[in-house]
Structure 1
Amino acid sequence: MAIQIYILGKLMQDNNYPYKLKKELSEPIPFDQLGGVTESKLYYHFESLVKQGLIEPVEIIKEEHRPDKQVFAITDKGREALPQKIYQLFGNADTISGMVIALANIEYVDREKVIELLYQKLARIKEHWAHIKDLEIKVQLSEEKEHLVKYLGEYFSSKKEHTTYWLEELIKRIERNEI
């Protein structure tokens, strides 16, 4: 999904071809390696987007002693689908790092709707944590399990605080149009 959003977002700016996008992903920071994006994955997603009718080939660039380059453009259907894919990524991502591609393409969606999705996610995290804290009070533990449960409780509490802080910070920055 994120790779398709990346491709559609790039094609919203200008027609492009897979090899060029792969190269852009790798320079100057190797985002392709960090995200595990191989050339074959990129080509696979281009083909998938063509099959969905979201992009279409518009030109073939022929260069001497080089492979032909098939240039693609986003379709009207692709322009309509991009915001939905972005909202879906915001809704499904478990971490902020999972939202990076959606954040990089936030210009193609309604910011208020993104903020609403993030507030819903924040509420679910807090609700889930309250449920876990409730269970902790109700469970009777043997002495040997107390230390493990205490350790795990501290770990998950710290993780929840970290996630909550950065999600709240993200919401604030989107509200202030900093992102």
Structure 2
Amino acid sequence: MSIQIYILSKLAKESSYPYKLKKELSEPIPFDKLANLTESKLYYHFESLTKQELIEPTEIIKEENRPDKQVFAITEKGLALLPNKIYQLFEKADSLSETIVGLMNLDFADRAKIIKILEEKLRKLEKKRDHIKSLNMQVKLEGPKKEGGDFLTGYFTSRLSNESEWIDSLIEKIKSGSI
């Protein structure tokens, strides 16, 4: 989904072709490598978005001794669905790191709706953290098993608390308009 949001958001700004978008992703930071994005994956998503009628080819650029470049533009349908894809990305993400493409394209979404999604995620994380703490208190372990249980409880609650803090910080930054 992130790749499709990336493609749609880039085409919402200007028509382009797959190789150019891949090149932009790789310079100056190799995001394409970090995201394991190959040219074949990118072309697959261009084809998929075309079949969904979210983008359409607009021209073919022919250059001597070079492969033809098919230029694409976003359709009205694609422009209308882009915010929904961003909302789905935030809803389905298991961590903030999975929302990077959505965060970079908040201009295409309703920030208030993103905040509501994040607040719901925050509520669920806090509930999960509290549940893990209560389980540890309910289970009566002794010796090394108790140490192991306490260690795991600390580990998981710490991770959940850390993610909660980052989500809370993100909510504040979106509310203030700094992101």
Indicate the TM-score class for this superposition, using the shorter chain for normalisation: over 0.9
The residue that corresponds to 2:46 in the other structure is 46
The residue that corresponds to 1:112 in the other structure is 112
TM-score normalized with structure 1 length: 0.98
Give, in whole Å, the separation in 2 of the partners of 1:37 and 1:142.
48
The residue that corresponds to 2:159 in the other structure is 159
| Percentage identity across paired residues of the two chains | 55
Give, in whole Å, the separation in 2 of the partners of 1:167 and 1:144.
34
Amino acid corresponding to residue 8 of structure 1 in structure 2: L
| SS across alignment from 2:72 | strand
How far residue 162 of structure 1 moved from its aligned partner, in angstroms, is 1.0
Query: Gapped runs of 5+ residues in structure 2?
Result: none
Runs of 4 or more consecutive aligned structure 1 residues displaced over 3 Å after TM superposition: none
| SS across alignment from 2:70 | strand
How far residue 150 of structure 1 moved from its aligned partner, in angstroms, is 1.3
Cα shift readout 1:56-79 (whole Å, capped 9, x = no counterpart): 000000000000000000011101
1:35 equivalenced with 2:35 (yes/no): yes
Amino acid corresponding to residue 92 of structure 2 in structure 1: N
| SS across alignment from 1:60 | strand
Query: How many aligned residue pairs are there?
Result: 179
Cα shift readout 1:73-125 (whole Å, capped 9, x = no counterpart): 00111011100000000111111110000001100011001001000000000
The residue that corresponds to 2:13 in the other structure is 13
Q: Is this contact kept in 1: 2:136–2:150, CA < 8 A?
A: no
Amino acid corresponding to residue 63 of structure 1 in structure 2: E
Give, in whole Å, the separation in 1 of the partners of 2:159 and 2:135.
18
Matches within 5 A, 1:66-81: 66-81=66-81
Amino acid corresponding to residue 101 of structure 1 in structure 2: V
How far residue 144 of structure 1 moved from its aligned partner, in angstroms, is 2.6
Cα shift readout 1:31-71 (whole Å, capped 9, x = no counterpart): 00011111110000000000111000000000000000000
1:124 equivalenced with 2:155 (yes/no): no
Give, in whole Å, the separation in 2 of the partners of 1:63 and 1:103.
36
Amino acid corresponding to residue 32 of structure 2 in structure 1: D
The alignment yields a C-alpha RMSD, in angstroms, of: 0.8
Q: Is this contact kept in 1: 2:5–2:102, CA < 8 A?
A: yes
Give, in whole Å, the separation in 1 of the partners of 2:106 and 2:74.
17
TM-score normalized with structure 2 length: 0.98
How far residue 157 of structure 1 moved from its aligned partner, in angstroms, is 2.0
| SS across alignment from 2:58 | strand
